[in-house]
Chains A and B, each alone.
Chain A
């Protein structure tokens, strides 16, 4: 029973990791950009959530109504203003620029909010739980997982059922020919980054409700996100969700064996999967 409990807690934790990873997966899929600053953008979202919920007396989840559009706007401007200029045949410039952005974000957050750990107050939601067949499940992890599934489903729907999704896929297939269709590549990428950062806002708020955070934790969130994306297979959003779940389960089961093993177990499972299936478990099938 205890093991089953560990697995179920791991699945739910995987929901949070999928939220970290979904934005990464989306922008890699559309523009082959690896965003090193992704983890710091998650932390930025958590701080913006903290500030808005404290200043306006809002529940942190309600603060999303403001934080998600704010991050989307930041994403669009960041893409149009900076990142589009770095995209080309060379993969180094976007890596360097997003690494620089990561350093800037961390230092700016440190300057504004100090290094003291912060946490968002979500009231009763943090401790509420339901009991299911003898296993006690936190309402917050359940909600996080449900939101992750809903977001991956929604992104998938946008990708395959809307004109915007068609533009994303066409631009990802062939930028030049997509331009011939009248698509402005710079804007298409801007919308993709806006959407990715809106999802990042959700990830940041759930992170900030669940655990305390400080300006330096972005790096490890980036790693979890990366691992989930790569375990699931690049360019496959449902795969990313599965990757998050696998990572979460590896961590909770590892912690069950020995509390010090939580992170190590996650990395080991990631490396094992990478060794056996270098393109991930569910790589996007291309024709």
Chain B
């Protein structure tokens, strides 16, 4: 087994007095795709924001290539090579489509991704590059959010709800593009509500339930019954 790129151990995340994650343990091998599933409010977004540094935790609770990053600010985490495609796209409304992509690449990390490459993955964005990002459709905005994260040439990319609110055909396109994206030496964590999709794209799957890991396994071997039990907490 290759060295883990990401190791999470005993991660407790809080919003003020409310504890959203309890002792989450998770390991991601270099080059792997890991899927996270779980009901609404299970803590998936909290986990992604914790990895990205938007929620700060104990330093050793999150390690990236064996370096503790749990207590770093989001900009420090980003410069180390982790990019997040946030839930709800979260583009910059004052920036044009192209500026949203350019600001994603501002850290200047070297790698395969450039404006040209993003435009060849999503040609519609090149046609719309001068428009305000808010003038795009939801699916097109999701493409910008993905392109913006890729522009950083991250070693680890986090997708929070990649397909939420998108038309099936757009989801299909994005999932078709994913293997190509991840095969460029990137590792990925994908939050996905659609369990079939989650299992088909990933090599390992984690299920969160009320802030705890309720299931962990290889995507090819976990059974549907185990998943429904882990998902809903039905015994």
A binds B: yes
| A133 lies within 8 A of chain B by Cβ | no
Within 8 A of B (CB), among A170-189: 170, 172-174, 176-185
| Nearest chain A residue, comparing its CB with the CB of B83 | A180
- Give the complex CA separation of A81 and B102 in angstroms: 30
Could you say which of A172, A177, A184 has the most chain B C-beta atoms within 10 Å of its C-beta? Answer: A177
- B86 x A177 contact (CB < 8 A): yes
Which A residues between 26 and 68 are near B, CB-CB below 8 angstroms? none
Check: B182 CB closer than 8 A to any chain A CB.
Answer: no
**How many positions in chain A have a CB within 8 Å of any CB in the partner chain?**
20
Which B residues are CB-close (under 8 A) to A170?
92, 94-95, 103
Within the assembled complex, what's the spacing in Å between the Cα atoms of A119 and B92? 46
Q: Whole-angstrom distance between the alpha carbons of A173 and B89 in the complex?
A: 14
Residues of B within 8 A of A287 (CB): 93-94, 132, 134-135
Contact-residue bracket for chain B: 20 to 34
**A179 touching B90, Cβ below 8 Å:** no
Q: Is the CB of B75 within 8 A of A185?
A: yes
Distance A183 CA – B94 CA, assembled complex (angstroms): 16
A286: nearest chain-B partner, CB-CB: B93
Q: Which residue of A lies closest to B54 (CB)?
A: A176
Q: Is A11 an interface residue (CB 8 A)?
A: no
Pick the most buried of B75, B102, B107: most chain A CB atoms within 10 A of its CB. B75
Least distance between A31 CB and chain B CB atoms (Å): 14
Per-residue CB proximity of A128-171 to B under 8 Å, as 1/0? 00000000000000000000000000000000000100110110
* The one of A169, A173, A179 that contacts B74, using a Cβ cutoff of 8 Å: A179
Q: Within 8 Å of chain A (Cβ to Cβ): is B181?
A: no
Set of chain B residues within 8 Å of A180, measured between Cβ atoms: 52, 54, 74-75, 78, 83-84, 86
Bitwise, B78-102 to A at CB < 8 A (1) or not (0) is: 1100011010001011110001001
- Contact assessment for A181 and B152 in the assembled complex, using a CB-CB cutoff below 8 Å: yes
Q: When the two chains form their complex, are residues A179 and B104 in contact, meaning their CB atoms are under 8 A apart? A: no
The answer to whether A179 and B75 touch across the interface, beta carbons within 8 angstroms, is: yes
Tell me whether A167 and B106 are in contact in the complex, defined as CB-CB below 8 angstroms, given that A181-B152, A182-B152, A184-B75 are known contacts: yes
Contacts of A183 in B (CB 8 A): 75, 103, 106
Q: Is the CB of B94 within 8 A of A286?
A: yes
Q: A177-B92, A182-B78, A182-B152 are in contact. Are A163 and B135 (CB under 8 A)?
A: no
Which residue in chain B gives the minimum CB-CB distance to A29? Answer: B94
Instruction: Tell which of A173, A174, A181, A185 has the most Cβ of chain B within 10 Å.
Output: A181
Q: Interface SS of chain B: helix, strand, loop or mixed?
A: mixed
Q: A132 CB to closest chain B CB, in angstroms? A: 40
Q: How far is the CA of A163 from the CA of B78 in the complex (A)?
A: 17
Interface string of A252-266 (1 = CB under 8 A from B): 000000000000000
* B94 touching A182, Cβ below 8 Å: no
Cβ contact within 8 Å between B94 and A169: yes
Are A182 and B102 in touch, CB under 8 angstroms? no
Q: Please, which residues of chain A bring their CB within 8 A of the CB of B90?
A: 174, 177
Contacts A163-B106, A176-B54 given; indicate if A182 touches B95 (C-beta within 8 A): no
A182's contact among B92, B93, B107, by CB below 8 Å, is which?
B107
**Cross-chain contact of A166 among B78, B84, B103 (Cβ < 8 A):** B103
Closest chain-B Cβ to A234's Cβ sits at a distance in Å of 14
Q: B104: which of A176, A181, A184 is its contact (CB, 8 Å)?
A: A181
Residues of B within 8 A of A185 (CB): 75
Residues 12-58 of B at the A interface (beta carbon under 8 Å) = 52-54
Complex contact A173–B94 (CB within 8 A): yes
CB of A222 to closest CB in B, whole Å: 27
In the complex, A179→B75 CA distance in Å? 5
B2 to chain A, nearest CB (A): 26
Nearest to A176 among chain B residues (CB) is: B54
CB nearest neighbor in A for B158: A180
Q: Which residue of A lies closest to B102 (CB)?
A: A166
CA A181 to CA B90, docked complex, whole Å: 12
Whole-angstrom distance between the Cβ of A42 and the nearest chain B Cβ: 28
Q: In the assembly, what is the distance between CA of A64 and CA of B148, in Å?
A: 40
Say yes or no: is B73 at the interface (Cβ < 8 Å to chain A): yes
- Say whether A179 contacts B135, CB under 8 Å: no
Which of A163, A173, A179 is in CB contact (< 8 Å) with B92? A173
Q: List 14 A-B contacts (CB under 8 A).
A: A163-B102, A163-B103, A166-B95, A166-B102, A170-B92, A174-B90, A176-B74, A178-B103, A179-B54, A181-B103, A181-B106, A182-B79, A184-B73, A184-B75
> Which chain A residues have a beta carbon within 8 Å of chain B's beta carbons?
163, 166-167, 169-170, 172-174, 176-185, 286-287
Across the A-B interface, the 4 shortest Cβ-Cβ residue pairs: A287-B134, A179-B74, A182-B78, A182-B107
